[in-house]
């Protein structure tokens, strides 16, 4: 490295002083020929080893640079080292910059996730607050429900206590009635001995028709056992000593929820013609009458259009009533009821109607009796019954009542010397007293035991001592 620097310095020196330098390998003869001219110009001869130059050659006309300004290979090497070091530092900084960029991106993502997390936390907080409020409301509702249950329980206990009191009163009244019955029997015997009358008082004749087969049931004598061993649990309508109802306010109210809003119609046949194919309560108004009637229309039987004016099914309504009740009607339209003689009269006088009597025994079998015509005479005639010819599978037990007026306990119009309504515990078109009593006492179980035939019987189907489970009487305009 030093030799190359020396050669380069010498070359620059020669060029700066003489303008040219000769090479050390020039031929000797040439040097001799030019010796005189060259003596003045160059008095020194330098032998420079032949070097192979690989880099640039710089020549300066002003002579060599000062030593302090001269650039050496060491300087270049140092410069290269510095440049390499700076390049490494730059690469390191670039790596750091990349890392910082990644950190910045990650920070941005973390901030975004933090915002999302804050939103989610806020949402969860709102949900938790809502749940807390809802649970508090539920707690309040639970407290209210507990209070209601406590009130109902208290009411049940009060009613149970009241029921026990009523049971005691009923037992007392039953004992009084029994004592009175015994006293009446003794008085009757005393009267017969005193007045010399040995004949028995007039009682209605029993139904003579006894069907070949009585409708079967699995608990044929349930009613007999029930009456003998559980007198305090008799069903409604089965008491023998219940007086007739005189107060119309005692009639259970008619339910209002099932009444159809259309109408009024002249009868259920017009309801069916208007397209109402669903059985239910409808508002009727007969021609020539200014009174509105709530009636049950049966649309699922024989093409529909049947107006139901009597129904028995559970003994929930007492049918032992006076004339005014039977005239105006009583009961629940969607349950046991009597539509009213005046209403039946107004409906049936609008045209030619036929009558259907539907009977059901305690085995679930249903039979019917249909009459080709049906109408009633006005009240002045006692609502006398007018029937046509019979057809059906229940047997004809109503034709013997044809032409008879209606009888109640307070208006005796039957053909018997006594009052059939008194013995049969109802109101009906009695003869003397007759082959049917569909407004009698509802006895559960079918065959019943009673001193008189006061059950709901149809003589041709079960006889006089078989009380039917359910009965319906309905009319329909003849097509």
User: Are β-strands 306-312 and 280-284 bridged in parallel, bridged antiparallel, or unpaired?
Assistant: unpaired
Assess contact for 302 and 368: CB atoms under 8 A: no
pLDDT at site 57: 55
Model pLDDT for residues 94-152, shown as the tens digit of each residue: 888 888 888 888 888 898 888 888 888 888 888 888 888 888 888 888 888 888 888 88
Backbone angles phi, psi at 125, to 5 degrees: -65, -45
Backbone angles phi, psi at 202, to 5 degrees: -65, 130
pLDDT at site 371: 97
pLDDT at site 64: 59
pLDDT at site 226: 30
Query: How confident is the chain (479 residues) per 10-residue block, as mean pLDDT?
Result: 46 47 45 48 57 56 60 82 88 86 87 87 88 86 88 89 86 77 74 59 64 52 33 37 43 48 87 92 91 93 93 94 96 94 95 96 94 96 96 94 94 89 93 91 90 91 92 95
Q: How far apart are CA 109 and CA 7, in angstroms?
A: 66
pLDDT at site 381: 94
Assess contact for 430 and 424: CB atoms under 8 A: yes
pLDDT at site 360: 95
Q: What does 294-350 look like in DSSP terms, one character per residue?
A: EEEEE-SSTTS-EEEEEEESSS-S---B-HHHHHH-EE-TTSSEE--HHHHHHHHTT
pTM of the model: 0.54
Q: How far apart are CA 383 and CA 326, in angstroms?
A: 11
pLDDT at site 349: 94
Q: Which tokens sit at 230? A: 């559980």
At which residue do the structure tokens 């006061």 appear? 454
- For the chain, what are the domain ranges? 84-192, 268-477
pLDDT at site 208: 55
Assess contact for 377 and 383: CB atoms under 8 A: yes
pLDDT at site 45: 60
Query: How would you classify residue 65: left for phi > 0, otherwise alpha for psi between -120 and 50, otherwise beta?
Result: beta
Q: How many CB atoms lie within 10 A of CB 472?
A: 22
> 268-477 sits in which CATH class?
alpha beta
Q: How many CB atoms lie within 10 A of CB 422?
A: 19
pLDDT at site 31: 47
């Amino acid at each position: 490295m030093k030799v190359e620097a020396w050669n380069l310095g010498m070359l620059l020196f020669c060029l700066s002083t003489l303008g040219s330098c000769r090479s050390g390998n020039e031929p000797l003869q040439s040097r001799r020929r030019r010796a005189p001219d060259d003596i003045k110009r160059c008095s020194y001869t330098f032998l420079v080893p032949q070097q192979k130059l690989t880099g640039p050659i710089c020549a300066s006309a002003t002579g060599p640079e000062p030593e302090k300004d001269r650039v050496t290979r060491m300087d270049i090497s140092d410069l290269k080292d510095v440049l390499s070091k700076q390049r490494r530092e730059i690469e390191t900084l670039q790596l750091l910059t990349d890392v910082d960029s990644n950190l910045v991106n990650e920070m941005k993502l973390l901030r975004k996730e933090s915002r999302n997390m804050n939103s989610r936390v806020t949402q969860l907080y709102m949900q938790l607050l809502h749940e807390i409020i809802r649970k508090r409301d539920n707690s309040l509702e639970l407290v209210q429900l507990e209070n209601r249950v406590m009130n109902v329980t208290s009411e049940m206990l009060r009613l149970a206590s009241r029921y026990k009191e009523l049971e005691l009163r009923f037992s007392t009244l039953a004992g009084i009635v029994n004592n009175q019955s015994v006293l009446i029997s003794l008085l009757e015997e005393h009267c017969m001995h005193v007045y010399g009358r040995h004949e028995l008082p007039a009682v209605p004749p029993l139904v003579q028709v006894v069907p070949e087969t009585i409708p079967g049931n699995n608990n044929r004598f349930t009613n007999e056992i029930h009456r003998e061993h559980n007198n305090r649990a008799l069903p409604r309508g089965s008491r023998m000593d219940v007086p007739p109802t005189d107060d119309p306010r005692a009639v259970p109210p008619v339910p209002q929820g099932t009444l159809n809003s259309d109408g009024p119609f002249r009868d259920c046949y017009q309801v069916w013609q208007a397209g109402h194919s669903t059985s239910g309560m409808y508002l009727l108004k007969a021609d020539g009458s200014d009174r509105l009637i709530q009636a049950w229309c049966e649309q699922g039987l024989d093409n529909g259009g049947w107006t139901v004016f009597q129904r028995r099914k559970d003994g929930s309504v007492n049918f032992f009533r006076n004339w005014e009740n039977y005239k105006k009607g009583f009961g629940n339209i969607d349950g046991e009821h009597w539509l009213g003689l005046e209403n039946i009269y107004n409906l049936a006088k609008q045209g030619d109607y036929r009558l259907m009597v539907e009977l059901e025994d305690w085995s679930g079998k249903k039979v019917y009796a249909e009459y080709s015509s049906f109408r009633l005479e006005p009240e002045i005639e006692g609502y006398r019954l007018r029937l046509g010819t019979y057809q059906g599978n229940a047997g004809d037990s109503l034709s013997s009542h044809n032409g008879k007026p209606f009888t109640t306990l307070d208006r005796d119009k039957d053909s018997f010397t006594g009052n059939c309504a008194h013995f049969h515990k109802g109101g009906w078109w009695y003869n003397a007293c007759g082959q049917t009593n569909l407004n009698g006492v509802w006895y559960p179980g079918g065959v019943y035991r009673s001193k008189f035939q006061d059950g709901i019987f149809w003589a041709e189907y079960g006889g006089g001592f078989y009380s039917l489970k359910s009965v319906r009487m309905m009319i329909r305009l003849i097509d």
